Amino acid sequence: MRVVFLGTPDFAIPSLKALLKDDAFEVVAVITQPDKPRGRSGEATYCPTKEFALKEGLKVYCFERIRNAESIEILKSLQPDVMVTAAYGQILSQKVLDIPKRGCINVHGSLLPLYRGAAPIQWAVINGEKHTGITTMLTERGLDCGDILLQESVEISENETASELFDALAELGGAVLVRTLHGIEDGTIIPKPQDNEKATHFPMLNKSDGKINWEKSAQQVHNLVRGVNPWPGAYAYYDDTLFKIWRTELASGSGKSGEILKSDNELIVACGDEALKITELQVPGKKRMTADSFLRGFKIDTGKKFT
């Protein structure tokens, strides 16, 4: 089966690896987002999928717009049996979707129709979900609304971060994708329409989503810290100093929202109910460190507040 693979971030790489390991598939090209300038130098750098694909000796295209005529002609020339997308980052037009003989398959990090959108893994953690998973679906015009092919569920543990869940789902996505393509080839998979009435939609995250509201419950704040790790990262202020809060645990205690209840060898802060233990944090100009290490060199006054 001739495959054109479309993906950009780290999430896509395990799916591409899974295709390369299976002799049933020939990856004829990889399509990624264009190189972007990064850092102070502004030097253009490759996205993770492009970097991996080039190391594997694969043909790579970076289309500014996959929907324009030149891009479509290149895709047609590749004569794909199927196209696979995994966090590619551009909307595919109907002209693009019509190119592969067996359709276009998307690997999505949620149990659709729940958590449609660009950040399903992060929002599932922020919202305190206990389960999520991988869905492979037929790509249609619209946002994550195509027929479901396969799904596999995973548990979200109490202290699991979005970063950790992201890695786990990326690996699972590769396995589910391969099973999906074999099922399409042998005719054992029957596409199932999504129940649009049950659909939920969540937007991309932005930096302001990481601001902690200490009036929320300890569980809600804990979920936020987990869900925005690593980006945009949860943060709060102590006096005028910005604190990045990387990891937390639920704790006992009560006080005014944001009040520091303990700050000797551990850092415990009151929330809208109960309290939260900050276990890993960071201040500007310093590395991430455990709270007990941080408290040896930075004085925080019990009774004061995080805002």
Q: What is the mean pLDDT of residues 136-153?
A: 95
104 and 143 fall within a common domain: yes
Q: CA-to-CA distance for 51 and 48, rounded, in angstroms? A: 5
152 and 190 fall within a common domain: yes
Q: What is the mean pLDDT of residues 272-296?
A: 97
Q: CA-to-CA distance for 138 and 255, rounded, in angstroms? A: 51
Host H or E run for residue 105: strand 104-108
Q: Is residue 305 part of a domain?
A: no
Q: CA nearest 202: which of 137, 140, 125, 119?
A: 119
The tens digit of pLDDT for each residue in 165-179 reads 999 999 999 999 999
- CATH code of residue 148: 3.40.50.170
Give the number of other CB atoms < 10 A from CB of residue 38.
10
Q: Is the pLDDT of residue 307 over 80?
A: yes
Q: Which of 177, 202, 227 is the last residue of a domain?
A: 202
Q: What is the mean pLDDT of residues 266-285?
A: 97
Whole-model pTM over 0.85:
yes
- The chain-wide mean pLDDT, for the chain, equals 96
The tens digit of pLDDT for each residue in 37-77 reads 776 666 778 999 999 999 999 999 999 999 999 999 999 99
Q: CA nearest 135: which of 123, 121, 152?
A: 152
Q: Is residue 243 part of a domain?
A: yes
Question: How many domains are contained in the chain?
Answer: 2
Enclosing domain of residue 151: 2-202
Residues in the chain: 307
Q: What is the mean pLDDT of residues 206-217?
A: 97
273 and 143 fall within a common domain: no
244 and 291 fall within a common domain: yes
The burial of 245, by beta-carbon neighbours within 10 Å (0-12 exposed, 13-18 middle, 19 or more buried), is given as buried
pLDDT of residue 39: 66
pLDDT of residue 36: 80
* Per-residue pLDDT band at 1 (split at 50, 70, 90): very high
- CATH code of residue 235: 3.10.25.10
Contact present, 86 and 18 (Cβ < 8 Å): no
Contact present, 133 and 153 (Cβ < 8 Å): yes
Q: What is the mean pLDDT of residues 7-31?
A: 98
Q: Is the pLDDT of residue 160 over 80?
A: yes
Q: Is residue 191 part of a domain?
A: yes
18 and 167 fall within a common domain: yes
Describe the chain by its helix, strand, coil percentages, rounded to 5. Answer: 30, 30, 40
Q: Which of 202, 236, 262 is the last residue of a domain?
A: 202
Q: What are the helix (H) ranges across the chain? A: 13-21, 48-55, 69-77, 94-97, 120-126, 162-186, 218-227, 291-297
Give the number of other CB atoms < 10 A from CB of residue 132.
23
The tens digit of pLDDT for each residue in 65-124 reads 999 999 999 999 999 999 999 999 999 999 999 999 999 999 999 999 999 999 999 999
Q: CA-to-CA distance for 118 and 35, rounded, in angstroms? A: 20
Residue 216 phi, psi dihedral angles, 5° rounding: -75, 165
C-alpha distances in Å from residue 56, one per residue of 59, 143, 187, 195, 273: 9, 31, 31, 39, 52
Q: Is residue 304 part of a domain?
A: no
Q: Is residue 307 part of a domain?
A: no
